[in-house]
Amino acid sequence: MTPKKLEAWSRSSLLRSRAVPLVLYAVSVTFLFGGAELISTLTKLPQEGLDDLAGTNPFFLGAVMFVVLSGEALLLTVAPIEITRRLWRQPLVGALIGILIYAVCIHWSKGWQGMLLTGWIALVIAVAYLVQRRSSRWIAVLQALGLKWAFAAFALFMIFSP
């Protein structure tokens, strides 16, 4: 597919449909949870600190996670992609920078298993953002936030489930 055809396709009414963001979100959540479950099944992720969190108030922890993960979505997904898109017209470079910062620089203390899991999470969110960004930047931002919040809800469920 030539770049002109790809550009015409990305601006088509199909991608601007209201159903597409919901379908893309559902597919992204499936990939996010499926990949996270597969990685945690195939590797032994470090579990230290989870027992300490189980004693906290779930609503307080959820509020903190909501704020922190919203900041992560904006600073490590949206900002690098948009900055490199404007400066060098290379949003993929920004996505790679955001993934590396999130997985390697922030989660290095969890070992290679933790970096693999967080890299997968960042990759799914970045790809979903890049795909949706072609039709609407604001929906793409909301989708990145929604994927982070879905992951937060999943993590809270795993921490506080009996």
What separation in angstroms does the CA of 45 have from each of 18, 25, 49, 58, 155? 38, 26, 12, 22, 14
Task: Give the per-residue pLDDT at 8.
Answer: 59
Task: Give the per-residue pLDDT at 84.
Answer: 96
Q: Does residue 101 contact residue 108 with C-beta atoms inside 8 Å?
A: no
Task: Give the per-residue pLDDT at 33.
Answer: 85
Closest CA to 108 of 46, 22, 28: 46
Interacting residues of 78 by C-beta distance below 8 A, sequence separation 6+: 129, 140, 141, 144
Task: Give the per-residue pLDDT at 14.
Answer: 52
Per-residue pLDDT tens listing for the chain (162 residues): 565 665 555 555 555 566 778 888 888 988 888 888 888 888 876 666 666 777 788 899 999 999 999 999 999 999 999 999 999 999 999 999 999 999 999 988 888 988 999 999 999 999 999 999 988 899 999 999 999 999 999 888 888 877
Closest CA to 102 of 151, 59, 56: 151
Task: Give the per-residue pLDDT at 21.
Answer: 81
Output DSSP code: residue 1: -
